[in-house]
Structure formats: structure tokens, C-alpha cells
Structure 1
Amino acid sequence: MRFSVYQESHIGGRKNNQDRMGYSFTRDALLLLVADGMGGHIMGEMAAQIAMQTIASLFQENATPYVKKPERFLEDSFFAAHREIHRYRAINNLPETPRTTIVACLIQHNNAMWAHCGDSRLYWMRGGQILARTRDHSRIETLIAQGKVDASERETHPDRNKLFNCLGAPNMPIVEISRRASLQAGDIMLLCSDGLWSVLPDHELAQRLHSNTIVRAVPELLTTATGIAGKTGDNVTALAMMWESSENLHGNSTITTHTLPVGSVTTTIQAPRHLDLENADTYNDSDIEKAIEEIRTAIDKSSRITSRN
């Protein structure tokens, strides 16, 4: 595989950045992730972080060096992340479960496949045109699909921010999975939070990523979005990947994986799970992995006592 990738996140006008982003790759597989912790619920940043780290850990276990059943992997990893978020709530006796939206893209054998829950989006672009994008799991998109609301009302309708699907909700999430998409050299995958797409129109995202390298285009897009949104703006996060061939390499920004040994994994997503030290006091110093390990140990001890009796 040959590709270039760039990611960046701005806090915007919020006190905390609840967005998370990252990517992992082996010799034959690449995983891209963006999660947006839901601010209307407690500790959305923890839900986003748990989701990222759970999915990335499962990728490292399954990509040997590629994922054998990609559709099943995407669905199962989303379900696993959902369960880990609920486990975190139970361990810490939280009054409600933190929630997050999520979008993931898995690329291998020159094909891309993506999945999402909520309104974190993926755009597949070629030559400045959008070939596909995820449909938000929102009330407004449902109304548009049913013909009850015109598409022009996306930005102004009072129900535009109401979501019906995410990780961490009481019900199991609906994991929407795309068909496999065959990539061509120069194709771009953009994963982003609603802090970007809700401010800048789709055609501007496509035009800017077409007219410049992703290393320059992504920072410019985020700066523009935060400037327009102003002091009350949301967190803004984007992760872009350009697929390349041996004919269109772009210098030092290009990653070539064919020389990687089987079994090796490169990732920007830290695992095992740990807290963001910047906000550690928010969580009363309770490390997620330690808490999970403690309760599993307690369960094991209880099982041994039961078996003895």
C-alpha cells in the first residue's frame, strides 16, 4: 500500500475537545477512525476515547496482516466499543452512559469499506468530486429520506442536531456499513466531525482537497471552519488519506507499507487504554484499563469461590 495521511483537531469555542482521531496500519491493511463525544451527555470525550482504543486494539488483533472478514470486523468492533463504554459507566457508577458518534474506514487490497454511527462523516472524493458520503443518522436526514422535508432545510431545520444512533445509548447501535469501493490513485478519504461539515459545504471540502495536498488542505479547512463558527463553535476534527501509486508519490509524506514485516502494526492510537493526562482530574484518577482489570479479577475470584463450593 502507498498512501499519504494527515489529521488535525481544533478545540473551537468549547472548553474541552471531545473529538478523537487516529489511524493504524499493517503491511496490507489501513484503519482510519474519527469519534465525536456527544456534549449533551456526561464525559463524551471518554466515550470517544474508549471507542477509538477498543476498535484499534481489535484491528491489531485481526489484521494479520489484513482483516479476513472486513464487514464482520467493522460491526463487531463497533459493538465491542459500545459494550466497553457501558462497562466504564458501570465500573464508575456514573448516572448515565457517555456517548459518542463514530466513523471508521478500513482499506485493504485496493478496496475501501466504511461504517458509521451518528453524524461523524466520511467522504470519498476523486478529481474534486464526491463519489460517496455517509448519511447522518439524524432526524433531519430521516425526514428528507421520507420526503417530508426538503434537502435545502438541512442547515436550518430545528431537528438538524437530533441523532437517533450512537455508541453508548441504552440500545445496541445500528452499524451502517458501506459496499466495498475500488480505489484509484489520487482518491481521497475524508473523515470528519460535524464541527467541520456543518460549517463548510460539501463542494468546498472537495474543492480544497483537490486543489492542494492534504497536508495543507486539512489545516486550512479547520482554520476556516473555526473562524466562521467563532467563539461558540464546536470542536473541529478531520483525518484525510490520499491513495497513491508508484507513479504519483508525493515525497516524504507518502507511507509505503510493502516493506513492513508481517505482524507489525503502526498506530497513532494509544493502547492499552489510558486517560488523557490533560483532563485527568476530571476522571478522579480512575484509569479505564485498571478499572476494567479490577472488575474482571473480582469476577474471576467469585467464579473460583463458586466452583469450590
Structure 2
Amino acid sequence: MKFTIYQNSLQGPRQYNQDRLAYSYSKDALLLVVADGMGGHRHGEIAAQLAVTTMTDAFQRLAVPTLSSPAKFLIEHIQQVHDMIDQLTQEREMLESPRTTIVAAVVQRGVLYCAHVGDSRLYHFRDGHLLYRTEDHSIVQSLYSKGIINKDDMSTHPYRHKVYSCLGGDIPPKIDLSDRQELAEGDTILLCTDGVWGAVADGQIKHILNRPSITDGITALLNKAESASQEQGDNMSAIGLQWGDKQSSNLAVSTISMAMGTTTTIMNPITNPNQQNQQDGATDIDLTDDEIESTIEAIQQALLKTKRK
């Protein structure tokens, strides 16, 4: 595989950043994942961190060097994140379950697989044209699909930030698996939170990313979102992937020389962690890496026992 990839997150006008994002790749497979911890609920950053950690941990174990079924991998492990959040809520006796959206993609043998819950999105561009975009699990999207409101109403509707499906919610998540898509040389894939697409229209996103460097494109997109957000915006996070080596970038990744059974994982660094816990008097229950790994292992063992019955 050859590709160029870049990820970044801006805090924006919020006092903390609850977005988490990461990518991981083996010799023949690539995972990208973005999670947006829901700010209307306590400890959304924990749910988001569990999401990216769980997905990348599973990928590192199972992509040796390919996944047996990318679609099954996405569905099962996104559901596993939901189960983990539920277990964490019970174990810590939390008053409210942490919640997060998620969008995750796997590229394997030149084919793109994507699954999502909530309103974090994936975009697929080719030669400056939008080929595909995920459909939000939001109230306004549902109203639009039913013909109750028109497209112009969506950006100003009072429920524009309300989602009806997420990880960690009271009901099982609606996990949408997109149709698999063949990638072509030079295709661009964008995964982003609503802090990006809510501030920058699809047409502008397409224009900004239609440039040789995906690094420059993502940087310009995030800066544009931050500028447009002003004081009312959200955290803004994005991962951009340019498939192949069409641009011959010196930042391009080639996995040709990677050893079988090895993986590389890049977590976006967390800047200015959530201080809301201290501000609202809640108990500080931030998880260490060891605690997250322990929670993952406990859920995995529980799932194994269930399968054996």
C-alpha cells in the first residue's frame, strides 16, 4: 500500500477538547477512526478515548496483515465500544453514561469499508468531485429525509446538533455500514467531526481538499472551520487520506517493506484535556492507559465467555 495521511484536532472556542482520532496500518490494511465525545453529557472524552483505543487495539491484534472481514470487524468492534462504555458506567457507578459518536474506515486490497454512529462523517472525493458521504444519525437529517424540512432549514434548525444514535446511549447504537467502494489512485478520504462540517459547507470542503498536499488541505480545512466558528463553535477534528503516490509526496507511506504481523498506530496527541470535571464538581475519573487496556481485556473476556455458551 502507498498513501499519504494527516490528522489533527483544534480545540476551537470550547474550554476542552473531547474529540479523539487515530489511524493504524499493517502491511496490507489501514484503519482510520474519529470519535466525538458528546459535550452535553459528562465525560464524553472518556467515551471517545475508549472508542479510538478499542478500535486500534483490535486492529493491531487482528490485521496480520489483513482482516478476515473488514465489514464484520467494524460492526463488531464499534458495538464492543458501546458495551465497554456501559460496563464502565456500571463499574464506576457513574450518574450518567459517557457518550460519543464514531466514524471508522478500513482500507484493504484497495477497497474502502466504512461504518459510523452519530454525526461524525466520512467523505470520498475523486478528481475534485464528491462520490460519497455518510448520512448523519441526526434529528434534522431524519426530518429532511422525511420531507418535513428542506435543505436550507437544516443548518439553522434548533435540533441541528441533536443525534438519535450514539455509543453509550440508553438504547443500542444504530451502526450504519456503507457500501464498499473501490479506491482509485489519487482519491481523497476525509473523516471529520461535526465541528468541521458544521462550519464549512460540503462545497467548500471539496474545494479546500482539491489540492496536491493532503497535509495542506486538512490544515486549511481546520483553520477555515475555526475561523468560521468564532465563539459558537465546537472542537474540530479531521483525518485526511490520499490514496496511492500520485503526488509523489515525501510524506507518503509505503508498507511494502513492512514485516508481516507488525502494525503502526498514530494517536493524535490530546491538547488541553477536559477540565469540566473540576469545574462542575464531578469526581475526576480520567482513565490511564493501563486502565483502558484493562477495561478492553475485561470486555473481550466477557464476550468470549458469551460466545462459548
TM-score if structure 2 supplies the norm length? 0.89
- Corresponding residue to 2:249 among 247, 251, 254: 251
State the shift of 1:293 in Å.
Answer: 4.1
Gap regions ≥5 residues in structure 1: 301-309
Residue of structure 2 in register with 1:194 after alignment: 194
State the shift of 1:156 in Å.
Answer: 1.1
RMSD, aligned CA: 2.3
Residue of structure 1 in register with 2:260 after alignment: 262
Residue of structure 1 in register with 2:288 after alignment: 287
State the shift of 1:171 in Å.
Answer: 1.4
Worse overlay, 202-211 or 10-19 = 202-211
What SS is found at the alignment partner of 1:35? strand
Is 1:205 the equivalent of 2:205? yes
Residue of structure 2 in register with 1:305 after alignment: none
Residue of structure 2 in register with 1:46 after alignment: 46
Identify if the C-alpha distance between structure 1 residues 276 and 98 changes in structure 2 by more than 3 Å, giving closer, same or farther. farther
State the shift of 1:189 in Å.
Answer: 0.4
What SS is found at the alignment partner of 1:290? helix
Identify if the C-alpha distance between structure 1 residues 73 and 294 changes in structure 2 by more than 3 Å, giving closer, same or farther. closer
User: Does the 8 Å CA contact 1:48/1:101 hold for their aligned counterparts?
Assistant: yes
From the CA coordinates, give the structure whose radius of gyration is larger. Answer: 1
Paired residues, number: 292
Identify if the C-alpha distance between structure 1 residues 42 and 33 changes in structure 2 by more than 3 Å, giving closer, same or farther. same
Residue of structure 2 in register with 1:65 after alignment: 65
Q: Deviations over 1:114-136 (max 9, x none)?
A: 00000000000011111000000
Gap regions ≥5 residues in structure 2: 279-283, 302-309
Residue of structure 1 in register with 2:106 after alignment: 106
Equivalents in 1 of 2:69, 2:295: separation in Å? 32
Equivalents in 2 of 1:219, 1:291: separation in Å? 30
Equivalents in 2 of 1:152, 1:219: separation in Å? 28
Equivalents in 2 of 1:227, 1:132: separation in Å? 26
Is 1:18 the equivalent of 2:18? yes
State the shift of 1:87 in Å.
Answer: 1.7
Residue of structure 1 in register with 2:158 after alignment: 158
User: Does the 8 Å CA contact 2:226/2:236 hold for their aligned counterparts?
Assistant: yes
User: Does the 8 Å CA contact 1:12/1:232 hold for their aligned counterparts?
Assistant: no
Residue of structure 2 in register with 1:177 after alignment: 177
Equivalents in 1 of 2:290, 2:67: separation in Å? 25
Equivalents in 2 of 1:70, 1:30: separation in Å? 10
Equivalents in 2 of 1:23, 1:269: separation in Å? 7
Identify if the C-alpha distance between structure 1 residues 204 and 62 changes in structure 2 by more than 3 Å, giving closer, same or farther. same
- Percent identical residues: 37
Equivalents in 2 of 1:220, 1:295: separation in Å? 36
Equivalents in 1 of 2:271, 2:286: separation in Å? 10
What SS is found at the alignment partner of 1:149? coil
Q: Deviations over 1:35-84 (max 9, x none)?
A: 00000000101100001101111111211111111111110000111111
State the shift of 1:158 in Å.
Answer: 1.9
What SS is found at the alignment partner of 2:210? helix
Is 1:92 the equivalent of 2:84? no
What SS is found at the alignment partner of 1:190? strand
TM-score if structure 1 supplies the norm length? 0.89
